Structure formats: C-alpha cells, structure tokens
Amino acid sequence: MVRQPEQAIGRRSNPARALEWESGSRLYNSDAMPAPHNAALPTLITAFVAGVFALLPRVLLAVESVPLRMATELSPAPAPVATPAFARADSVRGRIGQETVFTGNAELRRGGTRLRGDQITYRENDDEAFASGAVRLARDGLVFTGPELELRLDSMVGHFERAEFSIPAVSGRGSARRIDFIGRGKLAMFDTSYSTCTPERPAWFVRASMLNYDKPAGVARTRDAKIDFFGTTIMELPELSFPIGEGRHSGFLLPTGRVSSRTGLSVSAPYYWDLAPNRDLTLYPRLLTRRGVQVGGLFRYLEPEQAGEVRLEALPGDRSAGRDRWFASATNKISDWRGWSGGWTVRGVSDDNYFADFSTSILGASERSLPREAFLTRTLGDWTVLARAASYQNILEARAAPPYSRVPQLAANWDLRDLKGFDLASGFDLSRFERPIAGSAAGWRAVVHPTVAWSFRSPGAFLVPRLGLHASSYYLDSNVVTPGIPGDLSGTRALNRFLPTLSMDSGLVFERPMTWTDQRVWTQTLEPRIFYVRTPYRDQSKFPLFDTAQADFNFAQLFSNNTFVGNDRIADVNQLTTALLTRFLDPATGREALRFGIGQRLYFEPQRVTIAGEAPRSDTRSDLLAAGGATINPGWTVDGGMQANLAEARVPRFNFATRWNPRPEHIVNLAYRYRRDLVDQIDVSAQWPVSERWYLLGRFNWTLAEIAGIQPGLVESLAGAEYREDCWATRVVFQQYVTSAISRTTAVSLQLELSGLAKIGSDPSAILSRSIPGWRVRPDREISTGRYFGYE
C-alpha cells in the first residue's frame, strides 16, 4: 500500500546515543589532508607514539572508567516496530501488491527506516527496495549515502555500493567500498575509513580492510586496521575491537607510557576482561626500564548488597632496590546486608619506599599509616550500633609514633528528639587499644556519655541549654614509664572518671535591606552568638593517650565542649565564647555574596588538664579568630582567615586564597598558608589559553621556611601544555615533587587524544584535577540528545 502521509511520525531505536548529522560527508583522502596550525607538532607526537608503543595482536578500545552494572538489571523492552510502509515521490507507477517505482525526490519509510533517492523501486511481495541516484538511508542512529542500494526493509539484509556513512551520536563519519547489511543492527564494511574530524580537516582516520558492526552484541571489530595521523601511520593493528554504546568487551587496551626519575620509562599494555555485567578484571603488566617487569591487576565487583575492588601489584627482583616489591589493597562497601551496612579497607606494601618509588603524586608518596579495618553498623529505631576493628601498617617516620590499633570497638548511640520539648542522647563505646612499641600502655576503655538538652528556636533567635555526663573506665594491661613516649605511665590497672558538663548556646539573627554602589538591594544579616561551657577539673595525668590530641583552634571548635579530640582527656573549662557573623545575600536567589565573622573565648580559670609535651594555657582570652569570603563577581572568589594574638602582637595562623575563573578553561588560583612552625607556603596554579588552540597549565608550591627537614624552595611543581584541534588534542605534563627531605621525583606524561576513538599515552587528568582547582576534563563534544534526536 502506498500513501502520501501529511505528517511523518516515527521512532529511533537508541535515542540516547544519536546526534544531528551532516549531509555533506565526503571520502577521506590522506593525500589531500591539510596541514595543522603547527606543522611540527604532529611530527613530534607521531615519533613518540610510534617509538613508545609496541604493536599488539589484538586491541580493545574501551571507554575509560566504564561503570559496572547489576547483573539483574533489565534492559528496556524494545518498542514494537511499525509494519506499514509509507512512500511519496514526484511520480509513481507500478502494480499494486507487486512492484512500484517512485521517481523524483522519492522517499520510502518503514518503521524506523527512512530511504530517499532519485528513484526507488519497491517490491511488496519480497519487501525489497532498490534505490539509485543520491541515495540516503537512515536507520538505528546511522546515516548512509551513496549511488546504489539494495535492501530488504523488514530483515535489513542488502548491500550499499561506494557508500559513505555517519554516526551522529559520536560525530563520526567515514566511507567504504561496499557495505553489507546482514540483519538488524549488523553491518560488514569493506575497505573502510572512519574519523570524527570534520570533512574539511581530517587530521586522523582509521583504515581497515573490513569492519564488522554488531550493535546487538555491542561491539565492532576490524581487520588490518591502521591509525593514520596527518598522513603518517602511527599504529597498525591486525585486529581491533571497540564497544558500541556503553557496553564492555574483553581485549587489550591501548598501551600507556610515562617517564619518571624513579622508574625510568614505564610502558604498560593492559588487558581488560569482562567477567560479567557486574564484575571485571584489568591486568596491567608494566615494563620499567630502571627496575624490571611489574605485574598488576584490578578486580571490581558490584552486587545488590555490596561493591568493592581488589588491587594487587608485584615487582619480582627490583633491580634498583635489590628485592621483591609488592602492594595490595582491598576495599568493600556494604549497603544493605540483612539490614546492616559497613565495609572494610585493607592495604599493605612490601617496604617503606614503595609509595615514594611508584606513586604519581606527592599525595600518594606521603602515605605513612595504611589502614586495615572493617566495620558493621545498623540503625534500630532511635539506636545506631557499630562494631569495628582497625589496625595499621606503619612505614617510615610513622613507626616512631604509630596510631593505636582498636580491636575491637563496640559502640552504640541513642538519640531521642523532642520528648516533651527535650532532646535526649547517649553514646556508648567499648574498645581495646594496642600499638607495637615496647612500654606503651594497652588495655580496654569504656565510655558512656549521656546528654539532655532543651531547644528553643525561632526565625530570629535560638537558645539551647545542655547537660552532659562523661563517664569512662580503663582496665590496662601494663603501665610502664618510657621517657619521651606520651601516654606511657605508671599507676593502677583500673582507672575511672566521671565529669559533668553544662553548656548554653544562644544566638540572634537580624536582617536589613542594604544598597551598594551598584544600586542593587541586598539582604544583610547580623548574627551574634554566645556560647558558655563549664566542666570541672579532674586529675587525668594517669590516664593513657589512646586516641586523643589537642583540637585544632578554628571557628567550629570555638563552640565545642572539649578542647581535646578523643575520649582520653576531658578539658577543665569555664569559658565564654562570643562571635559575630555578617552576611550579604541576594534576596532573589539566596546567593551569598559576602560573609565575615570574628570570634574569641574568654577564660575564667586557668587550664590544668594537659597532654604531655603541651604547656597549659594561662591567658584570660584566646587568640582572636577572623574569617571571611566574597564572590566579587561570578568568576572571582576570595577566602581568608586569621588567628591573631593581640596581647603579643603576633599572628600564629593566616591563610588566603583567591580564584579567578572569568570563562570556562580560564583559571588562576593563588593561595598562601601560614601556621607557625608548621606551614609557610605559597601555592599558584593556572590554566590559561595563549592562543585559539594552545593552553598552558601550571602549579607551583613554594615553602618559604625550613619545615620537617625540607629546605625552602619548590615542594611541588607542574608545568604543561595542551593543544586542541577539532577532533584531536595532545597534552604534555612535567611534574616534580618532594618525596622526603632529601629526595624528589621527576616525571613526564604525554597523551594523544583522538576524539571519539582513543586516548594514547599516559592520562594526566587525575594529576591536573588535583593540582589545579577548577580544572575539568573537557568533553569531546557538547551534544544534547533527546528521545527523538536524529529522527528523520
């Protein structure tokens, strides 16, 4: 049946992956390839890729960081395919039910298939169409053009001669000598080429003698594939496969490479093994020219009740260290196991210098205590219970003063809100502490901490009086005095302590309209706050220090009951905190444009409870704290804080940070941090374009004073450049950072990105995102797709 529809309505088979296509795609000719803006750059990149990466017999181009999905997850059922055929043309002739010829601007549509051409012959009995002259076929998010087509519409079996094609979902396009349609979503292309570049500037393309496209299986495979970059073949692959859409398939990934002063040239050829929809394994053998061959593996899993990963690395016979090296890590998160949540983390290394030798950042090289812990927790009405065990492997300087292991820890918290206006809560904790230092105290500690509070709150004021009791008991294995080790003491094996605490927290909130020089009306708030706390003195000099330290002095700590963190010391306090905060808010959006606050404590009694090595406080006033922040405009923010001792006219702590981000990919960060005897650093980082296609990247961290044995100078430096074209980009990053007081690591990373195909080399994204706040990975294409995107 032939009809002339007034309006064509159809559907796509995969609307989430399609893009608007270009009708003027052309064959790629390497001889006609234009020169880049910088002719020397592709030559250098080509030499690097060809010289570093060995050829592999089979390579899988995989999407990086592909998420796992649940094995029980169901795919949406396909919508029913429409069976009637609709057609129109300038003229129509033929026999109904047999053969119909459409001539002049001919168009034939069936289900999700649209066919156009100068002439279309349709045989209704065979459901077969023959098209010639400017043929265009759109189906399953793919567009084909060429001179002649023969196709069975229902089974999608046929062939297309001298065809060009486009994949709008990834802005890809290419050509083939012949395309065979071998079923729905299945194609075989012969002597084909493919690229995501614009037809006018095809910087790169993939050529293959044959390409099998299997959308139902979610994979495409090629034979005798070559990747050409500006006319030069940079990689030849006898077999190449890559996933279609979000699927994952087993195979070799593209090689990666990096140069470091610790390892020399590092080249890895990872193999990805898709075990199941919710499990996978990546094996990454790595050749290190200065050390030998390292083997590693990462196993990931995702179950209905839990998820986690296991990573193992081994380097037998390290040539530089003269011993075997290894690293192991296992993490697991339990979301709902019979009502329980929890998890575990287990990490270990073979020796003290493993992270310094093999980490790729100063953050990784600074690890000292590796956790080995597991916990389970559950909420039962007003109760939350916890069971936990934690110990550590300590390396380098952490061996001298390691944290205590806590095996086991049994804890519970009870929280009952608004019982006739009162809030009741209580915490319970029973733990055993040990650490591997001769003479250190070890034993059990039980803590009970009930509180009762009454809360009054209104839009302009609040008042919260609170009464609490801290009760703790210790039963110690030994109390041996070891000079220089805090927490080691002599005395009885059993220790008990009961301390009440009374506090009163109150505040007001005032608002008024405020007009600045820009004539905009803002809402200014004035928020005074007063906090009083009283805890009597008890002699605690015989109590060990298992998990307690002096609390950091900051705005949050100003309003806490205890000047220590942990349960081994309860400070004797009789103090009043006063603070004042003001903010400027946009009344239309609530956006905060400016904030500034100051606060100080008044002490009514001198301090008597201390930690070994800490001098007791004798002042009647604390240092003054001041902090503020402003959003000067949408692209410029400023934050800062200061701790000032007014009596001695000194500043123990100061920090300042500003970010200028006027447009995307235009970022400058400047920060200064000072803390007496601990930190005195300037940090500068930036990403900025110097031309239409060149971007410079950098981060420099200076220490201005000798701290922890590190001499004044650069602690961490990073310098890089990025060059971007329409369909490719390259990045080079030079990095140097301190790994100890006497050693540094220098590394170089180079990456070539072929948009929509692969990233070749060492990916510096993790380094850049950590080093340059505000830096983000740039997407290949900014494309919006909808349900009917790509529909014709």
396 Rama sector, left if φ>0, alpha if ψ -120 to 50, beta otherwise: left
Q: What is the pLDDT of residue 543?
A: 92
In this structure, of 374-383, 589-598, 639-648, 739-748, the range with the lowest mean pLDDT score is 739-748
Query: Residue 231 contacts by C-beta under 8 Å, 6 or more apart in sequence?
Result: 30, 31, 33
One DSSP character per residue, 87-147 reads: EE-SEEEE-TTSEEEEEEEEEEEETTEEEEEEEEEEETTTTEEEEEEEEEEEETTEEEEEE
pLDDT at 6: 32
pLDDT over threshold 50, residue 665: yes
How high is the pLDDT of residue 775?
A: 87
The stretch 544-562 carries a mean pLDDT of 91
What local confidence, expressed as pLDDT, does residue 254 receive?
A: 81
Residues 401, 368: Cα–Cα separation, whole Å:
11
Tell me, what's the pLDDT at 16? Answer: 29
Q: How many whole angstroms separate alpha carbon 553 and alpha carbon 644?
A: 12
Q: Which residues are CB-neighbours of 596 under 8 A, at least 6 positions away?
A: 581, 582, 626, 627, 628
Residue 246: φ, ψ to 5°: -105, 15
Quick one: CA torsion of 696, 697, 702, 708, rounded to 10 degrees? -150
| Residue of 791 and 104 predicted with greater confidence | 104
Residue 236 pLDDT > 70, yes or no?
A: yes
Distance CA 543, CA 486 (A): 11
Tokens of 430: 């029973």
- Beta-carbon count within 10 A of 319 CB: 12
Question: DSSP assignment, residue 168?
Answer: G
> How many residues are recorded in the chain?
792
| pLDDT tens column, 204-235 | 989 999 999 888 877 888 899 998 998 889 88
Per-residue tokens: 397: 């300087």
Cβ atoms < 10 Å from Cβ of 158: 19
For residue range 458-479, list pLDDT tens digits in order.
999 999 999 999 999 999 986 5
Q: Report how far Cα 758 is from the mean position of its chain's Cα atoms.
A: 20
3-state SS class at 765: helix
Which residues share a beta bridge with 138? 114, 143
Three-state DSSP state, 356: helix
Looking at residue 245, its pLDDT comes to 64
Determine the pLDDT at residue 516: 75
pLDDT of residue 342: 96
pLDDT at 43 over 90: no
For position 325, what pLDDT does the model report?
Answer: 97
How far apart are the C-alpha atoms of 10 and 82, rounded to whole Å? 8
pLDDT class of 503 with cuts at 50, 70, 90: very high
Using one digit for the tens of pLDDT, what is the confidence trace for 87-104? Answer: 899 999 988 778 899 999
What do you get for the CA distance between the two ends of the chain, in Å?
Answer: 21
pLDDT of 344 reads 97
Q: Tell me how far CA of residue 651 lies from CA of 282, 648, 718, in angstroms.
A: 52, 9, 31
Residue 39 has pLDDT above 60, yes or no: no
**pLDDT (tens digit per residue) in 519-542:** 788 999 999 999 999 999 999 988
Identity (one letter) of the amino acid at 382?
A: D
pLDDT-derived band of residue 435, with 50, 70 and 90 as boundaries? very high
Confidence of residue 26 (pLDDT cuts 50, 70, 90): very low
Overall average pLDDT of the 251-255 stretch = 83
Residue with tokens 């519970």: 412
Upper half-sphere CA count for residue 164 (Cβ side, 13 Å): 18
> What does pLDDT average to over the chain?
85
pLDDT at 617: 86
Report the amino acid identity of residue 95: R
Spatial separation of the C-alpha atoms in residues 138 and 553, rounded to whole Å: 66
pLDDT for residue 618: 84
**What is the rounded CA–CA span in Å between residue 386 and residue 532?**
32
CB distance 253 to 231 below 8 Å: no
Place of tokens 């809030």: 423
Question: What pLDDT was estimated at residue 324?
Answer: 96
Instruction: Tell me whether strands 186-195 and 650-663 are parallel, antiparallel or unpaired.
Output: unpaired
**If you average pLDDT over residues 244-273, what whole number do you get?**
86
pLDDT digits (tens, 9 = 90+) for 770-787: 899 988 876 655 444 444
Q: What is the DSSP string of 213-237?
A: EETTTTEEEEEEEEEEETTEEEEEE
Can you read off the two tokens belonging to residue 321? 């260290």
Do residues 409 and 429 make contact, with C-beta atoms less than 8 angstroms apart? yes
d(CA 84, CA 86): 7
Three-state DSSP at 556 gives: helix
Three-state DSSP class for residue 582: strand
| Residue 229, both tokens | 């970059």
CA 368 – CA 662 distance, rounded (Å): 39
Q: What are phi and psi of 139, to 5 degrees?
A: -160, 135
